[in-house]
Amino acid sequence: MNKFRLILAIAVGKILILFSRLMGNQGSNFPGKMARRIYPGILQQLAARITGKIIIVTGTNGKTTTSNMLARIIKQTGASLVHNQAGANMIPGITTAFIAATGMTGRKRFDYALLETDEANVPLLLKEVKPGLILITNFFRDQLDRYGELDYTVQVIREAVKGKAIDLVLNADDPLTAYFRDLTAVRCWYYGFAPGSYGSRESRESREGRYCVICGQELQYQCYHYAQLGKFSCPGCGNHNPGMDFTGHGLVMHPALELRVDDMLLNSPYQGFYNAYNIVAAVSAARLLGIEPRHIQKAIADFRPEAGRMETFVINGRPTILILVKNPTGLNQSLAAVIEDQGVKNLFFALNDQVADGRDVSWIWDADIEAIETDRKIKQIICSGIRSGDIALRMKYAGYPAEQLVIKSNLKEGIEYLSGLTGEINYVLSTYTALFACRKILLGLQKRSAAPAGKVPVRG
Ligand SMILES: [Zn+2]
C-alpha cells in the first residue's frame, strides 16, 4: 500500500514539476507539497536512498553560494547528488528536489544529498532526514529577525543536534557558534581565518554577537573580519575562538580571490571577503568528505557567480555587476566589495518592499551605508524600485552628495540611465523581488550592445 502511494506521489510530483518548469519556475515548493499530501513519508523514504552522506547547509548569509560551491566540488569527483534549488529550501522544496532526482519507483540511489535550508527549518528537517554533516555559515541578524529571534534560532539548532552522530562544521570566528562543542557534545569542526589574513580594518558595522553568549559581558576583539566575525575573547569567562581545524590565510583580492585553506592554494572568480568565507566553509566540508584537493581546486576555480551573486554583464564594453541584497550585513559586504573596486563607478539600487523583500524597509538604516563616504569614485547613485525615495534619503543621510543622486523608480528607465553614464564599471544592487526584473533588463541591454552596429535585433 505504501509502495503504491509512494509511486503515485512521485508521479504526481513529477508532473507538477514539469508544469512548473513550463511556467518558468525553477525551484518550487508546490510539487513537493502535493506529493507529501499523497504520501507524507516520501521525503524520509527517498532520503534513505542516499548511500553516502546527507549534508545540510544553513546559516544567515552565504548558504546558497556555499552550498552551490560544495555541489560543484562533489560533482567534480563524479559522485551523484540530490541538491535543492535556492528559493525552495523549506521541507516541501527539498521534497521537490528528491522527486525531481529520483526515478518513477523512487528506488534510484545517490551518493550524496546536499540540502540548503533556513536556520529555523533545521529541527523540522532533522525529523525526516539523517544528515552526516551540517555546515553553518554564520548567524547574522536578518531584516525580519530583529527581536531576539536569532538567539532563539541558535538555541533551537543546538537542541536539535544535541547528542547526534553528526559532523558539525562551524565558523570559528562567529561568537554565536564558537561554543557549540561544549554545549552539544557533537563532533565539531571549526573553520575560519587566521588573524591578519587580510587587513583588519576597524569596523563600524553592527555586530550582533558582540556580547558573550555564556556570561553576557561585552566581548573584546583583537580584530574584526566582518560583522561580528573576528578574533574575540570574553573578559568575564574567558570564552574565545575555538581552535581551528581548517584555516584560511594568505587572502589576496585582485578583486578576484586568491587564498589558502591550510596548504591548499585556491583561486576563485568571486569577489569580497564574505565570499572568501564561503570558499573556506565549502572547502572544509569537502575535506571532511574526503575529497581530493585537485577536485576542490578545479571546482572552485571554475565556479562562476550566478544570478544576483556578483553576476557580470557586459554592456557597451563595460562590466555591470548584479548583487542581491537582503539584510544589513549582506548590504555592508556588498558595499565593501564596491568600495574595494578601484575603478570609477556608478551604483544603482533597487529597493522593493514586497513580502519576499520584507515589508519594513527600515533595515537600510541598520546598514553601514556611511562607508560610501570614503569612496570618491562613485560618480552617481541611481535610486530605484518601489521604495526609491527611501533609499535616496538613506544615501543622502550617509553623506552622499545630493546632486549626484538620481531617482528613477522604474527599473528599466533606471538601468538604461545607468548604462548610459560614463565610468569604468557599474554596480546594480537589488532586493529580492526586483532582482529577476533587473537581470532580464541587463541581459537585454547586454544582447543589444553586443549586436553589430546597425543590426539592432528586431523584436518578435
Ligand atoms: Zn563570557
Helix, strand, coil percent content, the chain, rounded in steps of 5: 40, 25, 40
Ligand 1 centroid vs 233 CA: distance in angstroms? 8
Average the pLDDT over each of 153-167, 221-235, 315-329, 356-370 and give the range with the smallest value. 221-235
Task: Quickly state the pLDDT bin for 458 (edges 50, 70, 90).
Answer: very low
Q: Is 376 exposed, middle or buried (0-12, 13-18, 19+ CB in 10 A)?
A: exposed
Q: Which residue has the higher pLDDT, 343 or 111?
A: 111
- Is the predicted pLDDT of residue 307 greater than 80, yes or no? no
Helix (H, G, I), strand (E, B), or coil: what is residue 99?
helix
Domains with residue ranges and CATH for the chain: 2-302 (3.40.1190.10), 309-450 (3.90.190.20)
Ligand 1 centroid vs 199 CA: distance in angstroms? 27
Q: List, in sequence order, the alpha helices (H) in 200-292.
A: 273-288
Could you tell me the sign of the dihedral formed by the alpha carbons of 86, 63, 349, 346, in that order? negative
Ligand 1 centroid vs 217 CA: distance in angstroms? 6
User: Within 13 A of 309's CA, how many CA atoms are on the CB side?
Assistant: 18
Q: Is 66 exposed, middle or buried (0-12, 13-18, 19+ CB in 10 A)?
A: buried
Ligand 1 centroid vs 242 CA: distance in angstroms? 14
Straight-line distance from the first to the last Cα atom of the chain, in angstroms, rounded to the nearest whole number:
52
What's the pLDDT tens digit per position in 219-261?
888 887 776 788 889 999 888 999 999 999 999 887 789 999 9
What's the pLDDT tens digit per position in 43-60?
999 999 999 999 999 998
Ligand 1 centroid vs 161 CA: distance in angstroms? 23
pTM for the full predicted model:
0.75
Q: What number is the average pLDDT over the span 204-233?
A: 76
For 388-392, the CB contacts below 8 A with 24+ separation are: 388/350, 388/351, 390/351, 390/361, 390/364, 391/349, 391/351, 391/364
What's the pLDDT tens digit per position in 406-420?
999 999 999 999 999
Ligand 1 centroid vs 282 CA: distance in angstroms? 30
Catalytic annotation, pick one of 360, 368, 375, 390: 360
Q: How far is CA 444 from the centre of its chain?
A: 26
Question: Catalytic annotation on 360?
Answer: yes
Residue type, 434: A
C-alpha dist (Å) from residue 346 to 286, 380, 405, 438, 456: 38, 5, 10, 16, 26
Ligand 1 centroid vs 194 CA: distance in angstroms? 22
- Ranges assigned E (strand) in 208-277: 220-226, 229-233, 246-253, 257-261, 264-268
Please, are residues 337 and 276 in contact by the beta-carbon 8 Å criterion? no
Please, are residues 357 and 436 in contact by the beta-carbon 8 Å criterion? no
Longest Cα–Cα distance of the chain, Å, equals 71
- Is the predicted pLDDT of residue 288 greater than 90, yes or no? yes
- Ranges assigned E (strand) in 75-216: 81-83, 110-116, 133-136, 167-171, 187-193
Ligand 1 centroid vs 219 CA: distance in angstroms? 7
Q: Which three cell numbers stand for residue 377?
A: 569614485
